[in-house]
Structure 1
């Protein structure tokens, strides 16, 4: 595992965007696993800027998002499908149909989950998977406990997660859907490379637990330590407790 600690959130966002851009520019067609949230908005903004500057071509890129709320159609302003259109897809030259998000409004949710898994396999599997980390320690919406061999499925969202995500719903956790579709931990672990990004002091405790606590299905983010190609990018605030416990980045790239 490679851990990079930057002085500021903006440096963390830039470093993550540069890694994703390097994947897109690689010799093989890129199959990205993408995530949502405030942290990701900043990363996508940088990627769009690089595209606008003519230095990043998305025409050969395919992407699969981690999750989607159950019951929200793609046109709903609070859906992650709409989020991806707003923050990335509508601003770059990724061909229509190559940016995939689970359909939370599907009539048969189990069939939709199976279809999504099959689509990832048909595309050749995930290359770089971008991840955030929730306050419950989840990656994707893999709330505790989540089996490390779990696949794309319907999950019930923890009250902590609904509160954390309520900003998009008028700061009312009751308006946040109770269920979501998410890639499973097993699906995520099959990606060739994992890139987890976390900034802010509110992530410090869970980051330390994910990186140094027991590897347990009670904290799905601990599963990344079972993967052999992982980069974690933290700002100084998110790394605070981890550093207090005597840990230092095992990379010279401490920006």
Structure 2
């Protein structure tokens, strides 16, 4: 936080409620719904309150849908029901009324069953007066396979009055990456960033890492890598130019 403040950088908070990486005491605690509700509220109150005025946006809810649009089974969903989403957003808003509050998810960039479910949830929350301010589109892509419906899909969320942000952008390539694939990756980075900036209320584009040296991709997608604008030696790749041009409306 001190580094960001001293360099005039914004900090995005990720994430307050997720199905994964829960501590064992929580997963194995066999808490009642009432107890679990109290635990989640205390967690949000404490974390958001600690960074009040310092974090400009929070991914309050992360990856709450299955690919078919159904709700993902999780400790929160199974014990508290879908209502935990509205509660978490309300608690976060109370803890820091100035912060923008997001629902963040993967594979929702295209117009598909999952993004339809997210859109319906956003409509429902807004109709209920829940403080939802934005939707985060993770955008973990494979080279040459950006969804053609991405810009139109982001726009329909923007048309609800919500911010839209690309929150975890990377574009993986089958290894070893060829020069043609690196050129396509550059074009994809340009298109992805343009897809967001071309939509009203696009709030930003965030990469999921800087250098291929520390990318999560090789450990998760076997045989893939080279997903970021800098290579493992921190040298600029064609992707850097593509991203830079996509973020510059005058390029």
The reply to whether TM is greater than 0.5 is no
**TM-score, normalisation: structure 1:** 0.34
> Greater relative contact order (Cα 8 A, min sep 6): structure 1 or 2?
1
**TM-score, normalisation: structure 2:** 0.34
Structure number, greater radius of gyration = 2
